[in-house]
Amino acid sequence: MSDAGAARAATRTITRGGRGSLAGGGVLLVVVVLLAAVVPYVVTLGALSSLVMLFALVILGTTWNLLAGYGGMVSVGQQAYVGVGGYALIQLADAVGAPLWLAVPAAGLVGAAIALPTSYLVFRLAGGYFAIGTWVVAEVFRLVTMRIDGLGGGTGLSLSAFRGTDRVERVAFVYWFALALMVAVVLGTYLLMRSRVGLGLTAIRDDRVAASSLGVAVDRGRRLVYVAGSGGAALAGALVALSTLGVTPGSIYSVSWTAAMIFIVVVGGIGTIEGPLVGAVLYWALQQALAPLGTWYLVVLGAVAVAVVLLAPRGLWGLVAGRYQLFPTGYRVRGVPPGAAVAPRADG
């Protein structure tokens, strides 16, 4: 190597994140602190309940992004686990008597436990057949739930664990609990994608055959993502039931939940940690602003989705992802001369 080449190589550094990431992380920390310590005291109870739905949407988008963005599995049946989580919460809280702070995460675990054997069925399918198969599974879950009298049949169940609790205390508890769970899910996903498991998932998404030839446990990795994503959907379903004080098969198993997940991830930016955050805030804001229009807001959502796909194929976060990373999951080589070839980074 020449002296000039050695000098250039010496100036190259491998980094993860940087000042931009630290600054972005600081801004996010401030936002979380404001949400926890200021917002509950300056907005109405109705606004707090609406924010709980935003937190649930962030969880749904983040966990569906695990499936499609990192596992390469497009599921249109994740509403199955939203429903499982909602019903599991009410059964655990009312029938078993578990405290709500324990019943909600336990409902997520129930969803993950059911997803494990279900994965052996749906993983026999691939591509579009996998997507259709997951939707069929969701319909089976809904129909089975409606046939069980102990689950309220077609009328659903009401949550009685809050009976006698002051409304202000109830809404405040649900709000802070939902905020804590949302932060935990996002940070957990970030830590997962920074690990060796996350690197393997990125390889599986990019090329399953090549990943397998390099020793990556493809089936185990995909199953891990499916179980984790389904547990996250069940956790969000439990939060919805906790906030609305009840569930019905028609609403909690509605395909609109999965439609919201797809919108959030595709519009926000698939395959990134930040994308679902951006997409969830946009989806929630459009819902709030367009609620007086009734079902017309669906037309507006569709138009927004089409526009983003055409104008920003990598999603809204993809427009700035090259310059900023709030959650850096891969490494970057700095100091590379223009036009030089470097190994691709595992950003996910």
| Measured distance CA(198)–CA(177) in Å, rounded | 27
Instruction: Indicate whether 137 belongs to any domain.
Output: yes
What is the structure's pLDDT at 196? 78
Residue 16: pLDDT band with limits 50, 70, 90: low
CATH of the domain at 255: 1.10.3470
Instruction: Indicate whether 78 belongs to any domain.
Output: yes
Provide the whole-model pTM.
0.88
- Pair 221, 38: CB distance under 8 Å: no
The continuous run of DSSP H or E covering 158 comes out as strand 157-158
- Pair 71, 201: CB distance under 8 Å: yes
Instruction: Indicate whether 4 belongs to any domain.
Output: no
Q: What φ, ψ does residue 332 adopt, rounded to 5°?
A: -125, 145
| Measured distance CA(86)–CA(89) in Å, rounded | 5
Instruction: Indicate whether 124 belongs to any domain.
Output: yes
Hey, how many other C-beta atoms are within 10 angstroms of the C-beta on 221? 22
DSSP β-bridge partners for residue 158: 246
Instruction: Indicate whether 192 belongs to any domain.
Output: yes
291-343 residue pLDDT tens: 888 778 888 888 999 999 898 888 888 887 666 677 766 656 555 554 444 44
Instruction: Indicate whether 75 belongs to any domain.
Output: yes
71-101 residue pLDDT tens: 888 899 999 999 999 999 999 999 888 999 9
Count of domains in the chain?
Answer: 1
Higher-confidence position of 320 and 217: 320
In one-letter notation, the amino acid at residue 211 is: A
Instruction: Indicate whether 344 belongs to any domain.
Output: no
Structural domain including 88 reads: 18-323
| Measured distance CA(246)–CA(94) in Å, rounded | 11
| Measured distance CA(285)–CA(146) in Å, rounded | 33
Q: What φ, ψ does residue 247 adopt, rounded to 5°?
A: -140, 150
In one-letter notation, the amino acid at residue 152 is: G
| Measured distance CA(1)–CA(283) in Å, rounded | 54
Instruction: Indicate whether 336 belongs to any domain.
Output: no
